[in-house]
Amino acid sequence: MKKKRKNYWCLKIRSAIRNIDFRYIRRNGAVLFCSILKKIRRKVIERKNGIPIPASVFIYITQECNLECEGCISSGYSKTSSMTSDLLERTIFECLKLSINSIIILGGEPMLETPLSQILTLMENSHKLRRTNFNIVTNGTTIDNKLIQKLIKHPNLLLFISLDGSEATHNLRRGVDSYKKTKTAMLLLKSHGIPFITITTVSRQNYCEILDSKFVSLCLSLGSVGMVFLPYLVSGCDKDNLFSLTLKEWKNTVRGITKLKDEYPDVIIADIFSDEMFFSGCRAATRSIAIATDGSVQVCPVLMVAADKLNNENTLLECLKSPFFSHVRAIKKKAPRECLIMNSKEELQEYIKEAMNGVNETSDTASIVLEQGFTHYISK
C-alpha cells in the first residue's frame, strides 16, 4: 500500500513538472538536492536532542490585509501587527540551523509591499535561502508587472493563490472585485511562466460548485499547476454559520475530490485535511509548527496559543523542548494520526487552563476556536 501511494505521487509530480517552465526546474535543482541533505541533518538533530524536528514552519509575517474575508481564521490577531525585519531574519535563520526544509509564509496578506520586500531582501542577501523552499499563501490581488519581475528572480518561491469558485461565490466571502484581481494575477503569472498552485477553501457556500470539473479546468486554464482543497472547519470564526461544513457536507466533499483526482490523473490535486490524516496524520508539534508575528511559537497554525517566544533569550530548539510542546506531544502519542483539536480538545483546554500563567493566547479568537473549533464537522 505504501509503495502504491509513493508511485501515485511520483506520477503526479512528474506530470506536474511537464507543465512548468524548464528554467524553474533547472534553477531549483539545488533546492531539491538540499532538501535531501536537510532531511538527513534533521534526523541527526532529532537523535541528539530527543525531540522531533519539524520539516516545515508556518510563519505569520503580517496580519495586515487588503481584504476583509468573512470568517477569516486570522480575524482575532491584531490587524496592525507585523513581524519586524530583525525577528523575521532571526526566525528564518533559526529554521535553517535546524535544517527545516520548507517555510510557509502566511498573513494577513504576505504579498503587501512591506512584508514581501522583507522576504525578498533576505533571499537576495543569503545564498542559503535560495536553496530553501519558500511558499507564500496569498489572495493574489496585489500581483502586478512590477512584482512579477521580482518573483522571476526567485524560482524557489512558490505561490499558493486563493480562488474559491465562480466570481459571485468568491466575492461573497472575499469582497467585490477580488475575483477579477485574482484572475488577472493568475493570467499574468501564466504569461511569464511562473508556476503557482490554486488553494480553495471548501465551505458550505461553494462545496458543490468547486467539485465540478469545470472549476478545475478553469484553474488549469489560468495557469495553475496544481489544486489544494482546504476545508473550512474553524467554526469558531464563523459567527453566522455561513461557511462551516457539516459532517455530511464534508463527506460529500471528500468523495468529490477523490473523483476529481481520478478525472485529472496528470494534475496534483490534494485534499489537505483528509490526505494529511490518510498519509501521515496530524503534523502539529512534530512535523510542522507555526510562529506568530510577535515570535510566539505555536504547535500548529490553528491552535493559537503559545508558551514561548522566539527572541534573544529563546532559540527555536529551546522552544521545541519546552514543557508545553512536550505535553502536546505526549497527548498526541495516544492518537498520533488524529487531528489534535478534534481528538484532544478537552485535554488541551484543561492543560491550558491549569498552566495559564505559562501558556498565552496569541489571538483574540484562540479560546473560541479551541472551544467551538470543528463542532459542525464532528456533530452535524
**Residues contacting 359, CB < 8 A, separation 6+:** 305, 306, 307, 324, 351, 352
**pLDDT for the residue numbered 21:** 66
What phi and psi values does residue 111 have, to the nearest 5 degrees?
-100, 20
Closest CA to 108 of 141, 62, 77, 67: 62
Gyration radius (Cα) of the chain, Å: 20
pLDDT less than 70: residues of the chain: 1-27, 75-79, 234-236, 277-279, 355-357, 368, 372-380
**pLDDT for the residue numbered 372:** 65
Domain residue ranges in the chain: 2-279
Element (H, E) at 36: helix 29-49
Residue-wise DSSP of 37-69: HHHHHHHHHHHHHTS---SEEEEE-B---S---
Query: Which sign does the torsion angle of CA 133, 78, 237, 335 carry?
Result: positive
**pLDDT for the residue numbered 244:** 83
**Residues contacting 213, CB < 8 A, separation 6+:** 260, 263, 264
Residue for cell digits 471548501? Answer: 202
8 A C-beta contact, residue 268 and residue 12? yes
**pLDDT for the residue numbered 378:** 43
Provide CATH code, domain 2-279.
3.20.20.70
- Give the three cell numbers for residue 325: 510542546
Whole-angstrom distance, CA of residue 169 vs CA of residue 249: 17
Tell me how many degrees the CA angle 231-236-239 measures, rounded to the nearest 5: 100
**pLDDT for the residue numbered 115:** 94
List pLDDT tens digits, range 180-221: 999 999 999 999 989 999 999 999 899 899 999 999 999 999
pTM score: 0.91
Whole-angstrom distance, CA of residue 344 vs CA of residue 333: 11
Q: How many CA atoms lie within 13 A of 289 on its CB side?
A: 30
**pLDDT for the residue numbered 2:** 47
